[in-house]
Amino acid sequence: MDFYTGKVLRLDLTGLRASVEPLDAEWARLFVGGKGLLLRSLFEELAPGTDALSPGNPLILATGPFAGTPAATCSRLAVGCKSPATGTLLDSYVGGSFAPALKFAGYDLVVITGRAPAPVLVRITDDKVEFVPAEGRYWGLETASLEELIRAEMGPEAKVLSTGPAGENLVPFACLSTDQFHKAGRGGAGAVMGSKNLKAVVVRGTGAVTVPDAAGFTREMLRLQDERVLSADNAWTYEEGTPFLVDAVSGAGALPTRNWRTGTFAGAGAINSTALLSIRTKIRACTQCPLACRQVHTFEDYICEGPEFETLGLCGANCDVDDLAAVATFNRECDEVGLDTMSTGAVVALAMDLCEQGAADYGLAFGDTAGYLRAPRLIALREGYGAELALGARALGALKGRPDLAPEVKGLEMPAYDPRGTFGMGLGYATSDRGACHMRAFSAGDDILGGAGAADSLEGKARLVVDQQDFSAVAWTGVWCANMALDPDFLGAHFKHLWGRETTPEELLTIGARIWNLGRLLNLREGLRREDDRLPERILSVPHPDGVAAGKVLGAGAFREALDEYYRLRGWDAEGVPTRDTLSRLSLAELSPGGAV
């Protein structure tokens, strides 16, 4: 199979056995790679109702067909499992260089099952797989120290995907790390790796990916790189990177501030891209990416890749911290212990709010950086008040009798776009397959970043959200980077080489819809229902007291109507279950006979 290795590596940690299976060619045809293959495999491997932290939850690593080729930005890895944070499917993406290394070692997919009897590290060198005892050497190490040690042992070409102390301690928002600063951040894949007594997967590959007409393919990829990737549309990535969003989103009244009390942050100027550019010392790139958007900043005694916009929003504005060095240190602490900065910032902001409201006594306060900087380590180790914060926002709010202070959807803390300043993001969060997520549908682009959308209206947003979700699903079969401006023509130029024929935008969106509906079937099988496609009461009915979006709320009635419209456009019934016709149209009927799950 050109572009694919045609092999799936299965790691049974319970028996410490490795085996290789052929990649299902029909799955590759229908689901392509990345998100598609990951969800198809998860649907097969996950028994309904499995506890996310039990040995029965598979951890799946999926590459895309273009990883390891000259295609730009396709070196990203898709990581998936059932999420311990949400109980939904989880797919999370990470850049760096791990995915090409996995292809060079000979694998499209890795399926990790069971739980090792004692901590291990898995070492893959082409077709040689070793289960190395991790206790006393690797287990307990923070992410940078672990990578340093492994590179010293195996050489610089060894690529590491690891969990930190937070994952070892099963914190439900623990992330996976690779190339030190790259994170598969959301949804708790780090805890799932930890629950398997697995510290890291290390891969070193010496093979190559075969493509038909390699010279022609390379020529075409270079043309696309010049004309499309390094175009003016993408210049923001290397000029400023995601921090440019701080001013734009705060200016729209959508930057969560003081635990979502308002959306305009008075300290934005201290943590925006201008502030970061003044201390930027270099830029880095994922493998095979000419955009090099990874901004490296030098602070007094350390360097930090990032912080990215979401971290600046949730760990800065939302905690009322306008000290850039403090936000960067918080970012570094999260990176070292293996925590998702987004959920950690959201949880710490909630804890500050609980303290201010008299519902908790953690000694945390908005804007107080001393307590704030201790939080990531306490959470990762579940020490002191960290044991309660490690529950995540939904459980912490419930524990303290204030669920109203914990903005989350399906248990995932909301990203740094307050829907009261960009209504369409609310529908996107509510219907996202892995809980509140800005990466499935990004209507903020139309609402507040120069598009034609009305930020304070849900009209037309159901169509927009469906189309963006379907497009993102097909883009992540690739697995292209979401930082780049993508469209069906660009994807089609790659699929032409993959399939040897032209594709239409409709055909590509059908692949996306197939993957999205497969995810829906998975989530329904796990017990999710219409009532889980919700938004926090605060977003629906409590307006900001000030700022650009003051006085605006989505409203329960308007949200209900938009959700009805969304289900109708998807071909789902009023409860959000795909109909028989929808499943047949998308070649999914066999996964759910009769349209029910």
At residue 584, the 3 state secondary structure works out as helix
Helix residue ranges, H only, 363-450 = 369-381, 386-389, 393-399, 423-431, 444-447
Of 85, 249, 291, 479, the one binding ligand SF4 (CB under 6 A) is 291
Output the smallest distance, CB 268 to ligand SF4, in A. Answer: 23
Question: Least separation, in Å, of the C-beta of 131 and ligand SF4?
Answer: 31
163 contact partners, CB below 8 Å, separation of at least 6: 174, 176, 177, 190, 191, 193, 194, 198, 199, 200, 338
Query: Among residue numbers 59 through 98, which ones bind ligand SF4 (CB under 6 A)?
Result: 73, 95
H or E segment and range at residue 121: strand 120-125
Residues pairing with 326 in the sheet: none
Interface pick for ligand SF4 out of 71, 224, 285, 393 (rule CB under 6 A): 285
Question: How many CB atoms are closer than 10 A to CB 417?
Answer: 30
CB of 484 to ligand SF4, least distance (A): 6
Which listed range, 109-117, 424-432, 476-484, 525-533, lies at the site for ligand SF4 (CB under 6 A)? 476-484
Please name the residues in contact with 164: beta carbons below 8 A apart, sequence gap of 6 or more: 142, 143, 146, 174, 175, 177, 190, 336, 337, 338, 339, 380
Q: What is the x/- site pattern for ligand SF4, positions 480-499, by CB under 6 A?
A: -x-xx---------------
For position 224 contacting ligand SF4 by CB under 6 A, the verdict is no
- Out of 192, 293, 378, 427, the only residue in the binding site for ligand SF4 (CB under 6 A) is 293
Beta carbon of residue 62, minimum distance to ligand SF4 (angstroms, whole number): 17
**Listed ranges 8-16, 210-218, 242-250, 285-293: which one lies at the site for ligand SF4 (CB under 6 A):** 285-293
| Helical axes 505-525 vs 34-45, angle rounded to 10° | 30
In the complex, minimum distance from the CB of residue 251 to ligand SF4, in angstroms, rounded to a whole number: 24
Cβ at position 286, least distance to ligand SF4 in Å: 3
Exposure letters 36-68 (e unless 16+ CB within 10 A, then b): bbbbbbbbebbeeebebbebbbbbbbbbbbbbb
CB of 160 to ligand SF4, least distance (A): 17
Q: How far apart are CA 323 and CA 313, in angstroms?
A: 12
Return the residue of 196, 294, 332, 538 that touches ligand SF4, per CB under 6 A: 294
- In whole angstroms, the minimum distance from the beta carbon of 102 to ligand SF4 comes to 16
Q: Specify the residue, 221 or 484, whose C-beta has the smaller distance to ligand SF4.
A: 484
Q: CB under 6 A: which stretch of 81-89, 281-289, 295-303, 491-499 binds ligand SF4? A: 281-289
Site stretch for ligand SF4 (CB under 6 A), options 84-92, 262-270, 287-295, 328-336: 287-295
Q: How far is CA 540 from CA 56, 430, 528, 594, in A?
A: 37, 12, 21, 35
Q: Does 341 bind ligand SF4 (CB under 6 A)?
A: no
Closer by beta carbon to ligand SF4, 62 or else 289: 289
Q: Does 225 bind ligand SF4 (CB under 6 A)?
A: no
Based on CB atoms, which residue is closest to ligand SF4, 245 or 462? 245
Is 292 or 303 the residue whose CB approaches ligand SF4 more closely? 292
Return the closest-CA partner of residue 195 out of 57, 309, 27, 370. 57
DSSP class of residue 11? E
Geometric angle at alpha carbon 517, from 516 and 522, rounded to 5°: 100
Helices (runs of H) and strands (runs of E) counted in the chain: 24, 17
Nearer to ligand SF4, 481 or 591 (CB): 481
Dist. CA 220–CA 218, nearest whole Å:
5
Asked if residues 391 and 350 have their Cβ atoms less than 8 Å apart, the reply is: no
Among 289, 349, 390, 475, binds ligand SF4 (CB under 6 A): 289
Q: How far apart are CA 270 and CA 307, in angstroms?
A: 13
| Footprint of ligand SF4 (CB under 6 A) | 73, 95, 237, 285-286, 289, 291-294, 481, 483-484
